[in-house]
Chains A and B, each alone.
Chain A
Amino acid sequence: MSLPLVVLLPFLGAIAAPLFAQGGRTAIAIASSVPALIALAALFPHWSVLSAGGTVLHAYEWLPALGISFSFRLDGLALLFALLILVIGLLVIVYSHYYLSAKENVAKFYSLLLCFKGSMLGIVLSGNLLLMLIFWELTSLTSFLLISFWTHKQDARRGARMALAITGGGGLALMAGILLIGNIVGSFELDDVLAAGDQIKAHALYPVALTLILLGAFTKSAQFPFHFWLPHAMQAPTPISAYLHSATMVKAGIFLMARLYPALAGTEQWFYMVSFTGMATLLLGAYIAMFKHDLKGLLAYSTVSHLGLITLLLGMGTQLAAVAAIFHVINHATFKASLFMAAGIIDHETGTRDMRRINGLWRYMPHTATLAMVAASSMAGVPLLNGFLSKEMFFAESLQLNLPGLWAWIPPIVATLAGIFAVAYSARFVHDVFFNGKPVDLPKFPPHEPPRYMKFPVEILVFACIMVGVFPTISVGPLLYSAASATLGGEVPDYQLAILHGFNLPLLMSFLAFFGGLLMYTQRQRFFDFHAQLREVDGKAVFEFGVSKIEDMAHRFTGWLENGSLQRYAMLLVISVIAVAVMPLAENGLYIGENGLSAVDWPTGIAAGVLIISALATARWHRERFYALVLLSVVGLIVALAFARFSAPDLAMTQLSVEVVTIVLLMLALYYMPSWTPVESSKGRRSRDLLIALAVGVGMTLITLAMLTQPFSSISEFFLENSKPGGGGTNVVNVILVDFRGFDTLGEITVLAIAALGIYAMLKDTALTPPPGDGLGHAWTRDNYPLMLRQVARPMLPLALMVSAYIFLRGHNLPGGGFIAGLITSVALILQYIASGMVWTQDRIPLRYHNVIGLGLLFATIAGAGSLAYGYPFLTTAFGYITWPFVGKFEVASALVFDLGVYLAVIGATLLALVSIGRLSPHSAIKSKGEGV
């Protein structure tokens, strides 16, 4: 349990920390430290297992079908990184407490910091690659938020966006790589993957997977050519830089390479890709660092260079080089974090980070100066400090590479050159800042020592640098051994952590680097002049250019595609449908199936002819909207007849009543709309549309013909067999609606209700004046409510209600049911509105149709939920028979209540929609009564 807890604690802390913001900065800093302290305490008991070379695994099932599990795995490597994350995290919290001013949003700061810490711990402790990927992405997101912490600064936002784009893009590549690995191995569990190294390396997809995973690692660890995001991420508050950009975030890529070392390393591809990328990064970072006037810029490029160094070591592929890489991870984290903190103190006290203005600070802050000088010496690789030890190992390893001929000279030369640059920029950090004359108009003058405990974290880290440098075996020996053993899969080579290995070639290289670097620093003006001649490739400019290009393209594409014309969208949609349909049909062909054609009887043939003619005529004469509507209603009526003809009485009744309601609706709409469509589109467009329409029509004809003549089997046997015994009804269609597929129906009446409410909402405060005539020179009739219609309509209401009640009740056994009965009732009610007007009807039928809809949904849901009370699944029907006087034996089913819900919802929705439209006109007096509906 303790491992998931370690990862979870910071996230819990991130939620809890803001609660302490009220208590002041000290309270929240203390609260934020608690998760790390508990996590450290939780990790401590595992040391005995790890020091013996074992691993700790805490796994919980999550999505076994996808190979994702909550498995957390602790070994030496994970422990080393977890300790770096936790300990430096604690120091950063202490440091931030003094760094942040009271005006800053400390709650947000600590909360994000803890989120980041949890994500980082997640990466190093994950025992499942997919789980690790999730945390990997989380670090990209949280670091984005941390870099852009000062959201008012444009540079901070830009820098954060760049970091997110680069590391996020790498994350995508990593995901693809991990999926490939998982596919090759058959498992995403780290233990399985690490054990399957030979299988992975022998696989044909190994180069692809390796490249993708390395892309992820290189972008995260700012390797050339992706290094440029890191210097721009320096817009973050300095504690964040100290944490993310020295010890944790950028080390995630290194960690990944070390983690998968047994699975991926040891091949030529690995060697060339990793070591040459590392070499390029090492040299480039070290070179540029020298020319940065910004303190943090210098440190950022130096970080790039050191990350390149570690990458190069991992790329060499020898066991000793891997040990040196792990060792340098520790050393770099300690000296670089302390240097960032020192830079932050200087920035804090002088108000600037420009080294051309900051000079001679030794006089003002000797304590800080001493600490920074020790850390910088470690960065330069001065003996008796930890940086020296790992650099010495690096030099030794660079001589051990088995490269052919003159190539063998390249690594040691690059290493020495980078060493010279490193000494030079370290010397600049020390000399230019603390000596070199007097400060030049500092924003804050005179600078003085920071608060006592702001230096405390720096002191701890510098102390660690010295301890490791002088007593390497005692201080980090066991931890390094355990981490190296985990990285190398158990085989650790013989190595010695000694301060001096005798007078040998690596020592000579160190000397060369040291004095060469000092010489270079004294001659720096020449190098500055030389560098000024070079045209520096600005990664940021290239990136921003690319982003704005992509944005422009997207804008133009969207503007071109989305011109606001439904006509065009519909055309594209229809054409796409044709394309999608044609592709498979072209392959399989369309033909008349083996069932053949059956004979046509005369009445059906005539009706079909009328339907076809009416449909085509509707399209042909659509400009005369009213006539087109009449033709449309002919089509609808014949469709209803077709349902009746082909054994679907329920459908026929539904279609008939819907038809009436639809035509009334369209007539109402036509009252407000122009009744004539002018000719607007060109002849060409019309012919084109005609062609498209013909293609669809012919296609549908052929598809229907092919479908109808194929033999088929249906799943309906089940419904036919179980309708009576299982659902208690003989009308199978109705039983399907209210019982077998009751949940669907519940959803459908909900859609109906939402549509009606949407209509009501859309028209609530809208007024629309109808045109004075129909647009064709005819005035509206003055006889608003014809006497005959009024007289006929009134007695119709009770009759229609009776019929609908009958249809409703018999629905379970004979054609009918809630939908149809609801529609019939609606038609009867609408007839009253048409015949006698809004005011008259509303006065006599004071129904609020919203409530009717609500009641309907309530009934349907209660009927469904009722079965839950008896321990049956939602919407299980119960039924029984009772004998009524006069009527006889009568079936009562809970489905009837459900159907009643359907009935009410249909009435409510239909009438709410139509009445809303009816009230639209300012002439309609009901408007003044407002909420009468």
Chain B
Amino acid sequence: MTVKYEKTKGLTDKPLSYCPGCTHGIVHKLVGESLVELDILDRAIAIASVGCSVFSYQFFNCDAQQAPHGRACAEATGIKRVLPDNIVFTYQGDGDLASIGIAETIHAANRGENITVIFINNAIYGMTGGQMAPTSLIGQKTTTSQDGRNQADHGNPIKISEMFKTIEGVAYLERVAVNNPKNVIRAKKAIKKAFKYQKEKRGFTMIEVLSSCPVNWGMKPVDALKWIESDMIPNYPLGVFKDKGADDEKN
């Protein structure tokens, strides 16, 4: 009997702590596979952030640190500066990265820190029970925007990839989604490329992943995946925002 498929060695055997239908598990798998395929798992250091992925230090099968809320990119910087040949990546949600940790993230990007950021955008605070995130959509009902987010009171959803595109130190930046097999394959390619660029010491790499949160969105898992397509992608268009490697080849 031949083995057709097996769980990546990039993840531990610890059962994931995520809710049914949540796409964190898919993204974990893509990260784990990328680390194994690039043969960098044994020199990787994961930074878990605060939010649903706070326990991710138990899941990535490599060394890890657990950062205070929003500080993952600072912690990653501290490590990478003293261990420049290791692979350092953060795994952060939208509350952690786009709200409380936006300063740390922008400055790490601006310094061109040679780290990889996996940014999960699910437009809501999951761990704390469905509060409004900086990335929540206009009209989106959350426990702290019960009549729906509105521009006058809450501002517009923050577009991280569009913002970070302007930062010189960013070497690779792509927004992907994990709502259907085609998009998952694209996401895998993007994540692997980001780690490859880090391995090649090209600078700051970030992959924004549109992800689902069926429990806090109040949807069935399949409907949540559909909502990514119908509502999130129109607000957060997918694509490569920056690719210094491709630019170098062109020049």
A and B together in one complex: no
Residues of B near any A CB (own CB < 8 A) = none
Residues of A near any B CB (own CB < 8 A) = none
